[in-house]
């Protein structure tokens, strides 16, 4: 089976089917990645843009990497950045101040807490680059080095960001409490 | 269990539908077959409708978006003779606080810095908050990022994201600030497209509308869906609302990109003052005197009301809130975005010194 890099090379020589094959291999992963970040509806809206952007920028692909998925995550992230910046906020948006101030962690946590909501609160306080590395590793099953490739940063930097993110999460009151109680 | 295990609990989300994957592939196939406009130039009137619900592939261009708008908004079409001429601009009331503020913004403009920086923060309920940085240089370049680092990278690589659409927005705002407000208003309404034929002859307007209808039908066919029936060109109040939606959407887009440019800000304020159905109120937010500019569902496509809060002393945007329209069958979700704007030097942006 041809590698992604080989298929991209063929697409640069005019074989458009080769590029479609690359997309076919990774579309579910990229679709889910988009859905995790902007929700299903918006992901469906953006997905076509991602493929077009990838196609238009395929000449820049470093073909020393046989696997194109990290590159496609990077293309998708760039599209998301433009999407986030240009779109009106049509999703619910709680008051930022409230998120930061109304948490009284220890007495309130019990087995019935909404794990996801609490974790999201903690995630919201991470730096964007920390959150991105963490998401790529935890959700997309990328290695730290691959996450660095997505974000166009050195592997060592990605490793430091992941370390910071995990540390911040562990130390967040919500997460610390969740790690000490059984969740259902 | 550790924090990574907890993270994985958040990884399950509803995937895009099989139809969405097909549409995305169609968009790719179309781009490969006939390279079209750069993706960045795809512009649609915001807030007027739910783009995903329109189910048009990403190849759709601005004219298509407008046609979809008219295909989805429904409502009766007023009878009577068509009019293609630009409706008279509602003259800004001399005492309009927005016009007064625009004058003060112009008078207080400084030459500090060479770029506008706007930092916006959105916080969807089910997702982490998102902060985005937009730099609009006085030369017209646009750089963006989600941190000072990625913003610096965008600027240092000269990854100019400005499109012809952005240039039109900013030119219209400047014209409003310094020149002919009526001319500026037409330019801002038509920055993305002019399917309603604003300022065109009746024959030209008919052709513009027919071309847009044909284009949307073609795009639906490309993605294998039946094309919606062609609709007559809107008239009367529906047409006025349609154009005011474009004016609001395009003008606020200019503001959120270039708020710290005094010409852009003053021009946007004057343009918004020409929308008859906006209401201006006073409030205080974070200790700042502020003005609220409210628009109802008529201007926002029927599904939402929008309130833009700006600093009463300098016109800089502070907050944008979207409220679902109670009578809409498909109300928008509530939303909130905060803004902070300042003048900066591009060199400092590149150096990460902001």
pLDDT digits (tens, 9 = 90+) for B281-315: 999 998 899 999 999 998 888 888 999 999 999 99
Asked whether residue B22 is domain-assigned, the answer is yes
Q: Do residues B259 and B315 share a domain?
A: yes
* A42 to chain B: closest CA residue: B52
Find chain B residues with C-beta within 8 A of A130's C-beta. Answer: none
Asked whether residue B227 is domain-assigned, the answer is yes
Q: Choose one of B217, B236, B255: the last residue of a domain.
A: B236
Max mean pLDDT range (A94-103, A124-133, B71-80): A124-133
CB contact under 8 A, A91 and B128: no
CB contact under 8 A, A90 and B332: yes
φ, ψ for residue B279 (rounded to 5)? Answer: -120, 135
Find chain B residues with C-beta within 8 A of A84's C-beta. Answer: 122, 130, 132, 146
CB contact under 8 A, A139 and B59: no
Q: Do residues B247 and B206 share a domain?
A: no
Residue with tokens 């790529």: A136
CB contact under 8 A, A31 and B16: yes
Find chain B residues with C-beta within 8 A of A96's C-beta. Answer: 121, 123, 129, 338
CB B129 within 8 A of CB B336: no
Q: Tell me which residue range forms the domain holding B63.
A: 18-83+196-236
Asked whether residue B2 is domain-assigned, the answer is no
Q: Which domains does chain A have, with CATH numbers?
A: 4-86 (1.10.1740.10), 96-178 (1.10.10.10)
Find chain A residues with C-beta within 8 A of B14's C-beta. Answer: 35, 40
CA–CA separation, B133 and B117 (whole Å): 7
Q: Does A6 contact B at CB distance below 8 Å?
A: no
Asked whether residue B3 is domain-assigned, the answer is no
Q: Does A29 contact B at CB distance below 8 Å?
A: no
Q: Do residues B216 and B301 share a domain?
A: no
Q: Which of B28, B48, B53 to mutate to test the interface with A (most CBs of A within 10 A)?
A: B28
Q: Do residues B61 and B48 share a domain?
A: yes
Q: Choose one of B236, B267, B298: the last residue of a domain.
A: B236
Q: Do residues B157 and B302 share a domain?
A: yes
Comparing CB atoms, the residue among A16, A35, A129 nearest residue B149 is: A129
Asked whether residue B268 is domain-assigned, the answer is yes
CB B270 within 8 A of CB B176: yes
**Mean pLDDT value of segment B162-182:** 94
Q: Do residues B130 and B220 share a domain?
A: no
Q: Do residues B206 and B173 share a domain?
A: no
CB contact under 8 A, A44 and B14: no
pLDDT band at A88 (very low <50, low <70, confident <90, very high): low
φ, ψ for residue B341 (rounded to 5)? Answer: -130, 150
CB B255 within 8 A of CB B88: no
CB contact under 8 A, A35 and B337: no
pLDDT band at B79 (very low <50, low <70, confident <90, very high): very low
Asked whether residue B313 is domain-assigned, the answer is yes
Instruction: Count the domains in chain B.
Output: 2
Q: Do residues B104 and B165 share a domain?
A: yes
CA–CA separation, B191 and B267 (whole Å): 15
Asked whether residue B292 is domain-assigned, the answer is yes
Q: Do residues B179 and B40 share a domain?
A: no
CB contact under 8 A, B13 and A36: yes
Comparing CB atoms, the residue among A43, A55, A170 nearest residue B31 is: A55
Better pLDDT: A63 or B182: B182
Better pLDDT: B329 or A67: A67
pLDDT at A116 over 60: yes
Q: Do residues B156 and B245 share a domain?
A: yes
Q: Does A180 contact B at CB distance below 8 Å?
A: no
Asked whether residue B267 is domain-assigned, the answer is yes
**Mean pLDDT value of segment B323-347:** 88
Q: Do residues B36 and B183 share a domain?
A: no
Neighbours of B50 (CB within 10 A): 16
CB contact under 8 A, B322 and A129: no
| Residue A122: per-residue pLDDT | 84
Q: Which of A20-34, A52-66, A112-126 has the lowest mean pLDDT?
A: A112-126
Q: Do residues B159 and B300 share a domain?
A: yes
């Amino acid at each position: 089976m041809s590698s992604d890099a080989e298929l991209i090379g063929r697409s640069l020589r005019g074989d458009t089917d080769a590029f479609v094959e690359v997309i076919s291999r990774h579309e579910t992963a990229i679709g889910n990645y988009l859905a995790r970040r902007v929700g299903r509806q918006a992901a469906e809206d953006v997905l076509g843009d991602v493929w077009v952007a990838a196609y238009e920028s395929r000449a820049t692909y470093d073909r020393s990497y046989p696997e194109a998925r990290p590159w496609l995550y990077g293309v998708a992230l760039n599209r998301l950045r433009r999407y986030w910046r240009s779109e009106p906020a049509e999703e619910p948006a709680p008051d930022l101040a409230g998120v930061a101030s109304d948490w009284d962690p220890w007495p309130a946590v019990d087995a019935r807490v909404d794990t996801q909501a609490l974790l999201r609160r903690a995630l919201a306080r991470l730096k964007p680059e920390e959150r991105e590395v963490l998401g790529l590793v935890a959700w997309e099953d990328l290695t730290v080095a691959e996450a660095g490739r997505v974000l166009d940063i050195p592997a060592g930097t990605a490793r430091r960001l992941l370390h910071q993110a995990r540390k911040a999460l562990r130390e967040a009151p919500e997460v610390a409490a969740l790690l000490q109680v059984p969740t259902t | 269990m550790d924090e990574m295990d907890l993270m994985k609990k958040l990884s399950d989300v509803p995937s895009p539908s099989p139809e969405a994957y097909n549409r995305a592939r169609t968009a790719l196939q179309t781009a490969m077959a006939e390279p079209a406009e750069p993706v960045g130039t795809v512009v649609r009137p915001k807030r007027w409708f739910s783009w995903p619900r329109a189910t048009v592939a990403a190849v759709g261009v601005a004219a298509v978006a407008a046609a979809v708008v008219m295909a989805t908004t429904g409502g009766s079409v007023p009878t009577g003779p068509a009019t293609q001429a630009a409706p008279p601009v509602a003259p800004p009331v001399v005492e309009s606080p927005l016009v007064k503020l625009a004058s003060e913004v112009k008078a207080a403009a400084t030459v500090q810095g060479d770029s506008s920086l706007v930092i916006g923060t959105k916080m969807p309920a089910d997702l982490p908050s998102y902060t985005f940085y937009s730099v609009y240089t006085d030369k017209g370049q646009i750089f963006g990022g989600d941190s000072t680092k990625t913003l610096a990278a965008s600027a240092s690589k000269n990854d100019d994201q400005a499109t012809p659409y952005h240039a039109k927005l900013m030119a219209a705002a400047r014209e409003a600030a310094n020149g002919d407000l009526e001319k500026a208003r037409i330019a801002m309404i038509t920055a993305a497209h002019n399917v309603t034929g604003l300022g065109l002859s009746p024959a030209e307007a008919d052709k513009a509308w027919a071309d847009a209808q044909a284009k949307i039908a073609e795009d639906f066919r490309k993605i294998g869906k039946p094309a919606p029936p062609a609709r007559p060109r809107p008239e009367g109040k529906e047409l006025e609302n349609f154009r005011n939606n474009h004016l609001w959407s395009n003008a606020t887009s200019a503001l959120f990109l270039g708020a710290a440019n005094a010409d852009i800000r003053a021009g946007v304020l004057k343009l918004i003052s020409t929308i008859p159905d906006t209401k201006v109120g006073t409030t205080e937010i974070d200790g700042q005197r502020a003005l609220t500019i409210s628009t109802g569902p008529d201007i926002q496509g029927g599904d939402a009301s929008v309130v833009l809060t700006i600093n009463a002393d300098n016109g800089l945007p502070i907050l944008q809130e979207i409220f679902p329209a109670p009578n809409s069958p498909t109300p928008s979700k509530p939303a909130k975005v905060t803004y902070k704007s300042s003048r900066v030097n591009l060199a400092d942006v590149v150096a990460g010194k902001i």
